[in-house]
Copies of this chain bind each other. A is one copy, B any other.
Amino acid sequence: MFGKTLDANTVADVLPEWPSGPLDRYRSKATFDWRQMKLLLEGEDVIRFKNRIWKAFENDPLFARSPWEEPTRDEERKRTFLRLRKLVENKFVNEEEYLINPYLVPAFVQAIGQYDWSLCLKRELSTEYFILSAKTGGNQQHDKVVNDIKEFKALGAIVITEMAHGSDTKMLRTSATFDPKTQEFVLNTPDLEATKVWSGVLGQTATHAVVFAQLYTNGQCHGIHQFLVPVRNSKTLLPYPGLTIGDLGSKIGLNGLDNGFMQFNNYRIPRDALLNKNADLTSSGVYKTSMKDESKKFGRMLGILSCGRVFIILKCVSNLQTAISISTRYSAVRKQFGPPSAEEWPVIEYQTQQWRLFPYIAASYVLHNFYYSLYRDYVDFLIGSFVLDSPQEADMGSELHCVSSCGKAMCGWLARDAIQESREACGGHGYLKASRFAELRNDHDANNTYEGDNNVLLQQTSNHLLKLYKEKVEEAKKIESPFGSVNFLNDLDTILTSKMNTNLNDINSIIHAYQFLVCHLLRKSVGKLENQMHAANDDQFIAKSQTQVYYLRSLAITFFECDAIQRFVHFLNEATHPENLNSVLKELGLLYALWSLEKHLAILYEAGFVPAESQPGISFNPAFEIRETILSLCHRLKDNAVTLADVFAPPDFVLNSSLGCSDGKIYEHIFDALTHNKGAFDRPDWFKEFTENKPEINSVDDVTTVMKAKL
């Protein structure tokens, strides 16, 4: 979809042959050329660009590492900082190149992130997102800080969340009160619960922050606004008086990133600290807003806010690809059991192992495409919004919001599950730190709660679909969205009276089933919502809360899966791909689609979309046939699995797993990890605690008596 040419030779110089070894057995059976597939999926520019970054890392001692190392939090922080500085120094790409090929933006994120997510986030938060906030919210007077950031004279942080308020940003309580006498804002933290928390880069290093606070002027609150606030002296890296700033310590993962907390105590900032593109104060403190077309602004804002989620989806897909690369390669080499008096089987030969892993391989292709397709929509929106002033801007923004919300949630969960399944599929050795699964799982974990808790995000999607349904049914509007994700809702009535197409090898049958699911759940949700409105005396908040589980939540989930499959089919159809690539891509699409659909079988039965076995005269057994098709697809993909993983596996240095190296020499690499870890052969320096310091073993009765007396 991106390559001008699919001649695998064009990238042979940067994609060398895989080293020979135990993986040859399966690589030699692949039905397609992995470089050709990679070219099709990523395009030559992206492949070369990522390769350039990774080579630079590999050649730089500052980026050296091993899968078994155990840095302390201090060491992680320091090296993340030094590597960030190096990234600024070796700026790999300029804005012009980004404009020529916007796919280099996610390529850069992925290249850094698959190496280390803390570094990726530290870069994004301290520079990119900070600059984006200042640029979209501020004016020329804020350019100085932006330039300082670009020149590494300053480091930014975004400060939103408070201890007691995350998702519900309207309820933030940090106050910025205008003092006309000094032409300053006075920032205050009203109490402990309003302490700013979780802000990345704030913990140790940020010099400036974009702070979200309630704007008060002349005794009136004007709601949440953003302020560009200096927080640390860039000459000393010490916080300014009036601020209490700290590092919030160890997290589940991402410990290279310094998340911080902050309290304001009558901290004064100048009037022009307000990011004033949409609202400003006069010198006497009169509030003026420049907002005009509210609904257009809202749609635009939704689109811009989707940016974070769009990139989280990329992070999720990257983690999915990393995890499944490791477990697939390991499973192709690890042998255990086998038929009596025959050679032991590589565990990838077992049906259970195939079924555990291959749907995630399929998902990594389908969701890779989902991401690229959504990103393309996002770029179209940005161009439409900023360059062309497109009339579709608001609709584009809303649709992006809808799709990126469920996409972030579902890709987050899918990657989570793929990492866990991969970890377990690697058995005991998967429990080694050197497997990289702990780091992957712990770093990925944040994706499921930040930028919106996944369950809350699913509500954004279902709310959008409910709105469209009402427009269609109550206002008889035609549904036509800029990116087409919801257009099938126009045929809701026809779809709802249709039945399952029994040709399961045609992915269009599955799309049809998904369209039915979405329409069915939408109609059922509207019905339940009406009942609940009745029960709750028309309190929509309560009614919606009571309609989430099995209704609106399932609606958003099936909508996402439907959209992901549709986008994949669109990709398959948009050009004539070489047949050897096309046939395996089709199998992957079908496997993902059936494996996802299988989880919704009960709804299909309940709704009468598929026949139950007990119905006379009908020979189509949907559960049986869907499941058998899944198993048969898994079986067919077996000999291609390693090569499918090769397509998206980063180089060994980046993959950094003793279980997943491209040479397949799992035992040699595990042995390396065992014998090279710190102190592997050392006697503990406290050994005399055993050899000399022997315990006096109390008789139990004594202890019991003593303890009982104590209590």
Given contacts A339-B539, A428-B450, 5 further A-B contacts (CB under 8 A): A163-B671, A248-B432, A251-B433, A349-B545, A428-B449
Please, how many angstroms separate the alpha-carbon atoms of A430 and B336 in the complex?
A: 38
Q: Are B695 and A74 within 8 A (Cβ)?
A: no
Q: Beta-carbon contacts of A230-273 to B below 8 Å, as 1s and 0s?
A: 00001111100000011111111100000001000000000000
Q: Contacting A690 at CB < 8 Å: which of B205, B553, B607, B686?
A: B205
Q: In the complex where A251-B431, A455-B352, A700-B91 touch, is A234 in contact with B691 (Cβ < 8 A)?
A: yes
Q: Contacting A454 at CB < 8 Å: which of B155, B192, B424, B631?
A: B424
Q: Does residue A614 face the partner (Cβ distance < 8 Å to B)?
A: yes
B residues near A441, Cβ cutoff 8 Å: 441
Q: Tell me the smallest distance from the CB of A542 to a CB of chain B, in Å.
A: 6
Q: Beta-carbon contacts of A337-376 to B below 8 Å, as 1s and 0s?
A: 1111000100001111001100000000000000000000
Q: Beta-carbon contacts of A83-95 to B below 8 Å, as 1s and 0s?
A: 0011011111110
Q: Which residue of chain B has its CB nearest to the CB of A680?
A: B246
Please, how many angstroms separate the alpha-carbon atoms of A55 and B707 in the complex?
A: 9
Q: Which residue of chain B has its CB nearest to the CB of A437?
A: B252
Q: Which residue of chain B has its CB nearest to the CB of A430?
A: B449
Please, how many angstroms separate the alpha-carbon atoms of A82 and B351 in the complex?
A: 46
21 A-B Cβ contacts within 8 A? A52-B707, A82-B689, A85-B689, A92-B700, A163-B670, A168-B344, A205-B684, A235-B691, A236-B687, A247-B682, A249-B677, A252-B423, A352-B548, A416-B420, A424-B449, A427-B449, A428-B449, A605-B612, A606-B622, A607-B613, A615-B615
Q: Are B56 and A707 within 8 A (Cβ)?
A: yes
Q: In the complex where A73-B70, A81-B686 touch, is A248 in contact with B674 (Cβ < 8 A)?
A: yes
Please, how many angstroms separate the alpha-carbon atoms of A246 and B432 in the complex?
A: 15
B residues near A248, Cβ cutoff 8 Å: 432, 673-674, 677, 680
B residues near A596, Cβ cutoff 8 Å: none
B residues near A301, Cβ cutoff 8 Å: none
Q: Contacting A605 at CB < 8 Å: which of B335, B431, B605, B631?
A: B605
A133-191 residues with Cβ-Cβ distance < 8 A to B are 151-153, 155, 161, 163-168, 171
Please, how many angstroms separate the alpha-carbon atoms of A676 and B86 in the complex?
A: 32
Q: Contacting A336 at CB < 8 Å: which of B166, B449, B631, B693?
A: B166
Q: Are A684 and B166 within 8 A (Cβ)?
A: no
Q: Are B697 and A93 within 8 A (Cβ)?
A: no
Q: Are B351 and A545 within 8 A (Cβ)?
A: yes
Q: Are A192 and B668 within 8 A (Cβ)?
A: yes
Q: Are A541 and B339 within 8 A (Cβ)?
A: yes
Q: Are A70 and B539 within 8 A (Cβ)?
A: no
Q: Tell me the smallest distance from the CB of A46 to a CB of chain B, in Å.
A: 15
Q: Which residue of chain B has its CB nearest to the CB of A97?
A: B700
Q: Tell me the smallest distance from the CB of A619 to a CB of chain B, in Å.
A: 14
Q: Are B612 and A608 within 8 A (Cβ)?
A: yes
Q: Beta-carbon contacts of A50-86 to B below 8 Å, as 1s and 0s?
A: 0110011001000000001010111001100110011
Q: Tell me the smallest distance from the CB of A16 to a CB of chain B, in Å.
A: 12
Q: Tell me the smallest distance from the CB of A219 to a CB of chain B, in Å.
A: 21
Q: Does residue A286 face the partner (Cβ distance < 8 Å to B)?
A: no
Q: Does residue A442 face the partner (Cβ distance < 8 Å to B)?
A: yes
Q: Which residue of chain B has its CB nearest to the CB of A245?
A: B681
Please, how many angstroms separate the alpha-carbon atoms of A539 and B338 in the complex?
A: 11
Q: How many copies does the complex hold?
A: 2
Q: In the complex where A90-B698, A683-B238 touch, is A52 in contact with B352 (Cβ < 8 A)?
A: no
Q: Which residue among A250, A432, A613 has the maximum number of chain B CB atoms within 10 Å of its CB? A: A250
Q: Are A550 and B606 within 8 A (Cβ)?
A: no
Q: Beta-carbon contacts of A20-56 to B below 8 Å, as 1s and 0s?
A: 0000000000000000000000000000000110011
Q: Tell me the smallest distance from the CB of A679 to a CB of chain B, in Å.
A: 7
Q: Are B694 and A152 within 8 A (Cβ)?
A: yes
Q: Are B351 and A548 within 8 A (Cβ)?
A: yes
B residues near A695, Cβ cutoff 8 Å: 85-86, 88-89, 152
Q: Beta-carbon contacts of A520-548 to B below 8 Å, as 1s and 0s?
A: 00000000000000000001011001101
Q: Which residue among A13, A55, A59, A453 has the maximum number of chain B CB atoms within 10 Å of its CB? A: A453
Q: Tell me the smallest distance from the CB of A95 to a CB of chain B, in Å.
A: 9
Q: Does residue A404 face the partner (Cβ distance < 8 Å to B)?
A: no
A690-711 residues with Cβ-Cβ distance < 8 A to B are 690-691, 693-701, 703-704, 707-708, 710-711
Q: Beta-carbon contacts of A439-460 to B below 8 Å, as 1s and 0s?
A: 0011001101110011100000
Q: In the complex where A249-B434, A677-B248 touch, is A352 in contact with B428 (Cβ < 8 A)?
A: no
Please, how many angstroms separate the alpha-carbon atoms of A68 and B73 in the complex?
A: 13
Q: Contacting A438 at CB < 8 Å: which of B74, B252, B605, B696?
A: B252
Q: Which residue among A193, A416, A605, A667 has the maximum number of chain B CB atoms within 10 Å of its CB? A: A605
Q: Tell me the smallest distance from the CB of A152 to a CB of chain B, in Å.
A: 5
Q: Which residue of chain B has its CB nearest to the CB of A238?
A: B683
Q: Tell me the smallest distance from the CB of A231 to a CB of chain B, in Å.
A: 13
Q: Does residue A14 face the partner (Cβ distance < 8 Å to B)?
A: yes
Please, how many angstroms separate the alpha-carbon atoms of A695 and B603 in the complex?
A: 59
Q: Tell me the smallest distance from the CB of A489 to a CB of chain B, in Å.
A: 22
Q: Does residue A222 face the partner (Cβ distance < 8 Å to B)?
A: no
Q: Are B612 and A549 within 8 A (Cβ)?
A: no
Q: Beta-carbon contacts of A187-203 to B below 8 Å, as 1s and 0s?
A: 00000110101100000
Q: Tell me the smallest distance from the CB of A199 to a CB of chain B, in Å.
A: 11
Please, how many angstroms separate the alpha-carbon atoms of A101 and B151 in the complex?
A: 71
Q: Beta-carbon contacts of A363-394 to B below 8 Å, as 1s and 0s?
A: 00000000000000000000000000000000
